[in-house]
Amino acid sequence: MFWRRKKHNSEDTIKNDQNKASDEQFGNGAENLDEKSSKTKEPELASIDEENKSTADTPEENKTEDVYDIDDVIDGGGYGWYQRFVTLLAGMIWFTAAFQTMVMTIIGDYLSCSWKIYRWQYALLVSIVFLCMSVGSPFFGYLGDNYGRKKAIGSYLLIQFSFGAGASASNNVITMIILMAFMGFGLGGFSQVIAYICEFYPAKDRGIAGFYTAYFWNTGTLLLILISWGLMTAFNNWRWVMFISAFPSLLVLIGIRWFPESPRYYLVSQQVEKAQKKLAVMSRMNKVELPKGQLLHYRKNASEERGHFLDLFQPEHRKTILLMWYIWFSTVFTYYSYALITPFIIKYGTIRISEEMLKETVGVGNFTSHFYSVQPCKEFSNLNYIDLLWTTAAELPGLFIYSYLVIYINRNTLLSIGFFLSMFCTFLLIVDTKFRFVLNVFLFLGRANIIAMFQMIFIMTTEAFPTTLRGLAVGSCAGIGRMGAGIAPFAIRLLITYNGIAAICILGFMLFFGTISAASLPREMKDRTLKEITEEFDEPSKENVQSEIA
C-alpha cells in the first residue's frame, strides 16, 4: 500500500466511514458500533451511536477518511504502459515540429531558384519564424495553464497545418514571409509537449523519459531531409516539400481525441473527478491498484494563480525564472550560431576568415551592399543533403550520453558541466592549426553537447515550476530562447564578416555565464515530485498543504 491515512474535516462524511475510522482508532475488534462506543477510552472523542446519532451531531474531530495524493498513483505505478503510450503521442507531436522546423531552414535556398529574392528577405524567412515563436511560446503556455495542455497542443497542430499547407500555395516572397510568421507563431506551441508529458512521469524516471521526445525530433529531421532530397531530385518542386512537411500535423490533429488531458491540470483547475478518472485509467493500464479513498486536492484560492505572468516573479520563483531566461537565451543562441559557423570551419579549417575567403563566401566586401543584393540560386547537390544528414545525426551521441548521465547526476550540476564543456570546445575553435580534423572534432563535441543541454533545459524548466505556472514558465523561457535564435543569423553573420575570433569569444563568454547561472539555480529537482501550487515550495511535504476532499 502506498497511500496514506489523513484527517479531514468534512460535513458529508458517511456513517460507514465513521465506523471504519472508529474501528481503526479504538482497535477493539467489536462487531457493532454500540460495543465500540462503550469500550472507547479516548476522552477527546465522542461515542457514536448508530441508531440515535446522525452525522451532523458527530464532532468533526472524529471524522477520518482515506485519501491519496496524485504522486502516490504516478510514482507508485512507475513507468508503465500508460507512460509509454503518452510518450508515443508526445513524440509524434515533436516529430511534426521537426518536419516544420527543418523545412524552414532549407526553403529559402529552394525559393531563390524560383523567385527573385534579396538576401535580407532570405534571412528574414528564417528569423521571422523564430521571432514569432518567441511570441507564440508564452501564448500557448498561458493557454495550457488556463484551458488545458490538450487544448494548447490541439491549437498548435491546427495552426501549424493550416499555415504550413497554405504556404505551399504562396505565389510571392511577401506572402511566404507572412505565412511563415504564422507558422512560427504556431510552432511556439510544441514546447508545451515537455510540460505535458513530464506531468505523467514518476519522479525517478522523469529525467531519462524527458529525453525520449528528442529522438523523435531527430528522426523527423532526418526523414524530412531524405524526403526533400527525393522530391527535389525527382520533381524539383518545393511546393510538394512544403505541403508534406505540414501533413503530419494534420494526422496527429485527427488523433488528438485519444490524447489524455493531464490529471495534474485537472487537479489544480478544480476538476477532481476528471483527475480521478484519469488516474484510474492510468492504474488499470499499468496493472497496479488504485489507492482507496478520494484524491487529495487543493482549495480553490490556492490554485487561482494559473497562468498569471506576474506570478512568475513571486519570491519563490523570481530567481529561478530570471536565471532560466538567460540559460535559455544563451543555449539557443549558441546552438544556432554553431549551425552558422559550421560551414565556414568545415570549408576553410579555421574561423580566421581572410578578405579573399570572405569575398568567396559572401560575394562582396561590403556587408551592407551584400545584404541588399539578390540571393543567388544555389541548387542543393547530393553532397549538400549528405552534409545535412551527418550534421543532424552528429547530435545523437550527445543525447544518448546525457540521457544516461541525467539518471545519476543532479540536474543543476550536469547542466553547469555541459555549459563548461561547450565553452571549452568553443574557445578551442580559435586555435590556428593545419590539422582540420582537430577543429572538426571540437565542433562536433560542442554541437553534440549543446543539443543535449537544449533538451535538459526543457525538463528542468518543467520541474522548477508548479502545475499552475508550468506551461507559462516553459513558454516564456522558450520564447526568450527563440529570440536568441532569431538574432543569431544577423549577429553571427555580421561578426564573422568583420572578425571571426570576436564571434567565437562572444559565444564562449555567453557559455561561461551560462555555467555560473546553471550552478546558481536555487532548487534541485532530481528525483523529487512535481509541485502543484507555489505554496508547496515552502512545505517539506505535501502532507502539510491545506487540502480538502472532493
The answer for 467, left when phi > 0, alpha when psi is -120 to 50, beta otherwise, is alpha
Closest by Cα among 468, 493, 476 to 545: 468
- pLDDT, position 447: 87
- Residues (pLDDT < 70) of the chain are 1-65, 300-305, 347, 353-371, 497, 539-550
Q: Are 33 and 50 in contact (CB under 8 A)?
A: yes
Distance, CA of 259 to CA of 150 (rounded, Å):
7
Q: Are 243 and 168 in contact (CB under 8 A)?
A: yes
Q: Copy the grid coordinates of residue 75.
A: 510514482
- pLDDT, position 358: 59
Distance, CA of 496 to CA of 340 (rounded, Å):
10
Closest by Cα among 298, 299, 297, 291 to 72: 291
Q: Are 59 and 42 in contact (CB under 8 A)?
A: no
Q: Are 42 and 247 in contact (CB under 8 A)?
A: no
Exposure string of 283-296, with b = 16+ CB inside 10 Å and e = fewer, is beebebebbebbbb
Query: Edge-to-edge, what's the strand order for the sheet holding 64-68?
Result: 4-7, 64-68, 294-298, 547-549
How far from 293 is each of 16, 20, 71, 276, 538, CA to CA, in Å?
A: 13, 12, 15, 10, 27
Closest by Cα among 122, 155, 545 to 370: 122
Burial of residue 425 (CB within 10 Å: 0-12, 13-18, 19+) is: buried
Distance, CA of 60 to CA of 46 (rounded, Å):
10
Residues in the chain: 550
Distance, CA of 249 to CA of 64 (rounded, Å):
49
Closest by Cα among 268, 290, 287 to 278: 290
pTM of the entire structure? 0.83
- pLDDT, position 349: 72
pLDDT, tens digit (0-9, with 9 covering 90-100), for 11-50: 333 334 444 444 444 344 433 434 433 443 343 333 333 3
